[in-house]
């Protein structure tokens, strides 16, 4: 699954553990892991003992207050867009950015061409795009609209303050 970071295609060094895979896995695999946020909350002792890095994946149904309380502990937060019309991830990203989350903020799920620009402006710096939805044209999408009225994650000043 292609991963874009800072508008470049990169190798994904993280292993994403879905709830299904975690159920089947007796032991955590080696390496850097992305686990569901609910799993993280329930298995902190196990994860503390893990040698690699641990990031979490959330969506709008998770306990976001808890996420915002803990976010600095994570080198990576993956925010899931379960379906096209679910835009909660944009606000989750904005709230993490506002709280100065410094790690990788990764958009996962229904992530494709026409939302990449909005996602980047809300603070995502990594985009996991389903294989069948990816094309080289995606790399050009970030600059389709070059002017903005609103502030964004990178520069929160709206146009009238710039």
Partner 1 sequence: MYQYNEVDQTLVNERVEQFRDQTRRFLAGELPEDEFLALRLMNGLYVQRHAPMLRVAIPYGLFSSEQMRKLAHISRKYDKGYGHFTTRTNIQFNWPKLEEVPDILAELAQVQMHAIQTSGNCIRNTTTDPFSGILSNELEDPRPYCEIIRQWSTLHPEFAYLPRKFKIAVTGAPEDRAASQVHDIGLHLVKNAEGEIGFEVLVGGGLGRTPVIGKVVREFLPKQHLLSYLDAILRVYNLNGRRDNKYKARIKILVNALGVEEFTRLVEAEWEFLRDGELTLTDAEIERAKSFFKPFDYDPKAAEDKTLADKLSADQSFATWYEKNTREHKVEGYRAVIVSLKPYLKPAGDITDVQMDLIADLAEQYSFGEIRSTHDQNLVLADVKKSDLFAVWQALDGGNMARPNIGTLTDMIVCPGFDFCALANARTLNIADQINEKFDDLDYLYELGDINVNMSGCINACGHHHVADIGILGVDKKGEDWYQITLGGSSREDARLGKILGKAVAADEVANTIESILGVFVEHRLDNELFRDTVQRIGMDPFKENVYAVAH
Nearer to partner 1, 76 or 116 (CB): 116
User: In terms of residues, how long is the chain?
Assistant: 162
Residue ranges of alpha helices (H) inside 17-149 are 19-24, 37-42, 44-48, 64-70, 88-98, 113-121
Is the separation of the CB atoms in 101 and 132 below 8 Å?
no
Is the separation of the CB atoms in 99 and 71 below 8 Å?
yes
Nearer to partner 1, 54 or 108 (CB): 108
For residues 148 and 62, give the distance between their C-alpha atoms in angstroms, rounded to a whole number.
31
Q: How far is the CB of 153 from partner 1 (least distance, A)?
A: 9
For residues 138 and 129, give the distance between their C-alpha atoms in angstroms, rounded to a whole number.
10
Is the separation of the CB atoms in 105 and 128 below 8 Å?
no
Residues making contact with partner 1 (CB under 8 A): 60, 64, 84-88, 90-92, 94-95, 98, 112-115, 117-119, 121-122, 135, 144-152, 156-161
């Amino acid at each position: 699954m292609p991963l874009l970071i800072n508008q470049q295609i990169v190798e994904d060094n993280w292993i994403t553990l879905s709830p299904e895979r975690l159920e089947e896995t007796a032991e955590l695999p080696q390496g850097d892991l992305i686990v569901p946020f609910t799993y993280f909350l329930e298995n902190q002792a196990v994860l503390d003992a893990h040698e690699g890095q641990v990031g979490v994946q959330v969506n709008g149904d998770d306990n976001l207050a808890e996420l915002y309380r803990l976010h600095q502990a994570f080198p990576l937060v993956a925010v899931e867009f379960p379906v096209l019309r679910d835009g909660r991830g944009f606000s989750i990203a904005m709230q993490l950015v506002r709280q100065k989350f410094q790690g990788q903020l990764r958009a996962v799920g229904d992530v494709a061409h026409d939302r990449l620009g909005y996602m980047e402006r809300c603070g995502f710096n990594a985009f996991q795009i389903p294989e069948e939805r990816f094309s080289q044209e995606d790399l050009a999408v970030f600059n389709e609209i070059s002017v903005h009225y609103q502030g964004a994650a990178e520069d929160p000043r709206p146009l009238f303050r710039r």
